[in-house]
Each structure stands twice: as C-alpha cells, then as structure tokens.
C-alpha cells in the first residue's frame, strides 16, 4: 500500500501544469472563442444603445428637398429630439412620447398612406384652430399671424379650415413649393405621425439655422 501511495505521489509530481500563454504585458492571452464572445457582446450592446437613443432620445434626419427653404436647405442633417415629444415604432406599434407640439415648431412627420417616409414641416395649426390664408398672410382663429421665416408669401388663398381634434396643420416655409396639409392628399397630420421636434442643424454645406430669416412681413 505504501508503495502504491509513493508511486501516485511521484506521478502527480511528474505532471506538468497546463502552459498558459502570456501577452506582451504579461497577462494571459485570450482564446479565440473568448474574443469572439466579447466582440458579439460589444456589438449587441452597441445595437441596443443605438435603438434606445433613436427610439426615446433623438435621431439624425437628412433634409430632402426645398420645401422648408430658407429655414432648412436640401442635404442638411437635422437633430430631431424626442425628449419633449415624438413618436417611435416600438416592435411594430407606433407609441407617442412626451407632450405635444407647439405652434411654429419645426417637426419631422409622416403622412397618411405614405409609409415610413419622413417629411419636415412647420406646425401652423393646433387641434381646434381655424386656419385661413388671405392675400398671402396667415390667419389663425381670425388673427393675423406674423411669419418672419418665410421666403415668399403664398400666391393663393386657402380656407378657412378647422383642424380636427388630435391633428395638426403643417406647412413648409417655402409655401409655393411644399406638399403639406393644404393638399387634399395630405390633410391634417395625426399626433402619432409626428416623429419628433427639429431642434438644430448638425451638418450643412452652407450657413443655415432654425432662426428667423429676418424677412419683413
């Protein structure tokens, strides 16, 4: 029995510990499997963070066209915030976030029957407002509203039109070159189709801001 115990101990002493490879800093090298798992975990975390930011905080949107000229120019990248209000597609269902748009906010929206295409317009009429344009000037509930941000005035009259509850009347600043709520094919835009509030331009080729264009009424 003593001889067997001696042989077992001798065999154990003779065994070598598994060789651990070290990197240049003296730390154990990661196996290929572990590196792949870490890359997958990092990628999944990045996708999740991006989803949360775009869904609940903000998303960048590119201006396509001149319907908001001179406030916004074709090709600019806008910062569209969802912290004050917005709408997000969460697992196939549109969910409204925060409060509601205010008059003259610039927003990104979608139109009925136009799928997921984004449009950028200005909120002119709130639910229950009566909108009318006479001689190129905007009247809301019978009151003349100054609009210093316009490039030129609308060249035909419109209304009066009362905005249904839960909807908003949107127009482009380039009034004579904008497909918006004045069109029977668009009409008033429901609250859950307003994607978010345009708060800033984060990239542009030429100087442009969301401030007034300093044009006289």
Summarised one tens digit per residue, pLDDT across range 56-108 is: 677 888 999 999 999 999 999 998 988 889 888 777 777 888 899 999 999 99
Residue 147 lies in a domain: yes
Counted domains in the chain: 1
Distance, CA of 96 to chain centre: 13
Residue 182 lies in a domain: yes
Catalytic residue among 29, 88, 93, 121: 121
Tokens (6 digits) for 191:
């609250």
Residue 21 lies in a domain: no
| Omega before 58 within 30 of 0, i.e. cis | no
Residues 6+ apart with CB under 8 A from 73: 63, 66, 204, 205, 206, 208
What is the reported pTM?
0.73
Catalytic residue among 67, 81, 178, 181: 67
CATH number at residue 169: 2.10.109.10
Domain limits for position 173: 59-203
Give the pLDDT confidence of 159-198 residue by residue, as tens digits: 999 999 999 999 999 999 999 999 999 999 999 999 999 9
Q: What is the dihedral of CA 185, 176, 210, 116, to 10 degrees?
A: 20
Residues 6+ apart with CB under 8 A from 59: 53, 80, 82, 196
Residue 148 lies in a domain: yes
Catalytic site includes residue 16: no
Q: How far is CA 197 from CA 143, 144, 185, in A?
A: 25, 25, 23
pLDDT of residue 112: 86
Catalytic site includes residue 84: no
């Amino acid at each position: 029995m003593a001889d067997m115990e001696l042989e077992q101990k001798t065999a154990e002493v003779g065994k070598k510990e598994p060789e651990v490879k070290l990197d240049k800093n003296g730390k154990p090298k990661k196996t290929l499997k572990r590196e792949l798992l870490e890359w997958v975990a990092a990628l999944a975390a990045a996708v999740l963070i991006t989803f949360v930011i775009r869904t609940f905080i903000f998303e960048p949107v590119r201006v396509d066209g001149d319907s908001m000229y001179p406030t916004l120019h074709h090709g600019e990248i806008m910062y569209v915030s969802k912290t004050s209000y917005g709408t997000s597609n969460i697992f196939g269902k549109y969910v409204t976030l925060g409060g509601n748009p205010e008059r003259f906010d610039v927003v990104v929206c979608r139109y009925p029957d136009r799928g997921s295409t984004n449009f950028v317009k200005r909120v002119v009429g709130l639910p229950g407002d009566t909108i009318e344009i006479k001689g190129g000037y905007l009247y809301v509930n019978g009151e003349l509203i100054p609009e210093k941000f316009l490039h030129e005035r609308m060249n035909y009259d419109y209304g009066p039109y009362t905005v249904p509850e839960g909807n908003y009347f949107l127009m482009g600043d380039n009034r004579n070159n904008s497909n918006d709520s004045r069109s029977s094919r668009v009409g008033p835009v429901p609250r859950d189709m307003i994607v978010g509030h345009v708060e800033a331009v984060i990239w542009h080729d030429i100087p442009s801001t969301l401030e007034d264009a300093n044009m006289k009424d």
